[in-house]
Each structure stands twice: as C-alpha cells, then as structure tokens.
Amino acid sequence: MQELMTEADPLTFYGATLRSRLLLGTARYPSPAILADAIRASGCEIVTVSLRREAGGSRAGESFWGLIRDLGARVLPNTAGCRTAKEAIATAQMAREVFETDWIKLEVIGEEDTLQPDVFGLVEAAKALVADGFKVFPYTTDDLVVAEKLLDAGCKVLMPWAAPIGSGRGVNNTFALRALRAHFPETPLVVDAGLGAPSHAVTVMEMGYDAVLLNTAVSRAGDPVAMARAFGLAAEAGRLAFRAKPMTPRDMAEPSTPVIGRPFEDML
C-alpha cells in the first residue's frame, strides 16, 4: 500500500521523496531499544533529534547518534529549547556540523507555559538560516500572516501546531488549520505538536495536511511500539481518506438503500 501511495501521491520535502507521512521525535523514550523498535514499527523515515550541547562529544551521545543512523532514518535536527533567534541560529549551525545535514527544524520558544513559538524571532532566524544554506522546517503557530512571512523568508515547508507541545489535546483551532491548508495549497504542511491519539492524526490528515510530527504521544504511551504503529497507520488512513474525497455532512438522513414502493403495503 505504501509503495502505491508513493507512486500516485508522493510526499516531497526539499527535493527528498518519502513514503511515510509520519515524523517522530526521539526524546523521553523508556530505553534506546524501545525507541528503535518504535521507529521501525511506525514506518517513519524522518526523526527529529535535539542537539544536547552538554553531551555532544560524549560517548553516550555518540552511541545515540549511531543508533539513529543504523535505523536508516533521516535525521531532522531541531533547535528545541532556544528562546532567541541568535541562540537558534547558533544551535542550527552546530547541528549541521554534528549531523552533517542542512535540514533543520527551527524552534524559537516565546512563552513558557504553552511553549508557543516566538513568531518574530522565528521569522528572523528563518531568514538568516535560509541565507546560510539551511533547509528550514519552522515550528510555528496557525497564523496566516506568520506563515506568509516564513514562506517569504525562503521556507519551503511549514509546521503549524495543533495544540501546545506535549498537551495531547488534539486540534485546538480547526478553523485556523483549515484556513492554512486552503491558503497554501502547494506548500507542504506538517502538523507539529499537540496530537495525543491516532484519531487526532487522522483528523488533520483528512483536512489535507501532508504529514504529522509527534513525540510525547508515542514516547509516553503504555506501549510506545504499538502506539507508533498506530500513528503510522493513522497517518496513512487519513491521507487515503482525504484523497478519496469524504462525503459532505448532511442535516437530514438519507437512506443507503433506495426505497421503491413499500413492501407488504397491501397487508397494512
């Protein structure tokens, strides 16, 4: 099924064609072995990795990077924890050296309780990183104006949130996500953050989003491996449903079996 979907409905990020529409984070898993099994079960081809500067050159860090490489997944480093554009730019530059990739998931956090992106710092950092040759995946809000400015800065992918990071709330603002999809039909859009259940992934994929990115919903599940597989299947099911053009909701009932006359009418 995935091979057929790839041929007819390819997902492309910065020239790279992918089969899976699920991206996974790699933080807070019970063990490296469970992380590896979850990635395999999900079928995902891109994993996000935070640059832990305090452990960047340690033996533990090298072991972790080796595990990710052995899985054959593409690494998408992120600037998690950065609070300013300057800090995010410096972290991205270090990540490029460590992981040998010009892909970067750009995060600039502006508010502590919700971990909402600082959209002003985000746009500033995106402009600088694109000029420096990075292929930027910005973690942003669902604001149309911010999205336009990020595209103007040179971003070719947008990653709006559904709800605050780690909240598991699902889609907080359906109207805003639908509006983003409608306004930018040719731009790859990835819902990033806030998804807590596979049904949430199906919901946004049925809206026409290109992929979903999540971490906590899998890493903190009772069975991370089974949950990873569930999300992988949900992303595929949602995309297939979107392409199949779901029926339009109706206010009144419509019989699924046409009624031609009434059986036993003469007996009444």
Helices and strands (H and E) in the chain: how many: 10, 10
Residue 73 assigned as binding residue = no
**Cα distances (angstroms) measured from residue 141 to each of 37, 123, 216, 225:** 31, 12, 19, 29
Whole-angstrom distance, CA of residue 141 vs CA of residue 161: 6
Return the amino acid letter for 64. Answer: F
DSSP-assigned letter for residue 168 = -
Structure tokens at 23: 């991206």
Residue 166 assigned as binding residue = yes
**Cα distances (angstroms) measured from residue 188 to each of 2, 39, 74:** 19, 22, 17
Residue 215 assigned as binding residue = yes
Whole-angstrom distance, CA of residue 52 vs CA of residue 189: 27
Contacts of 236 (CB under 8 A, 6+ apart): 1, 2, 5, 20, 21
Q: Among the options 105, 127, 135, 149, which is catalytic?
A: 105
For residue 89, give the 3-state DSSP assignment.
Answer: helix
- For residues 35 and 29, the answer to whether their CB atoms sit within 8 Å is yes
Among candidates 112, 75, 117, 113, which has minimal Cα distance to 97?
Answer: 75
Residue 79 assigned as binding residue = no
Look-up: residue for tokens 């449903």? 241
Look-up: residue for tokens 């949430």? 200
Residue 133 assigned as binding residue = no
Please indicate whether residue 105 is annotated as part of the active site: yes
Q: Give the strands of the sheet with 46-50, arranged side by side.
A: 159-160, 135-140, 103-106, 74-78, 46-50, 22-25, 211-214, 190-192
Q: Point out the residues that are catalytic.
A: 105
Binding site, annotated residues for 1-deoxy-D-xylulose 5-phosphate = 166, 193-194, 215-216
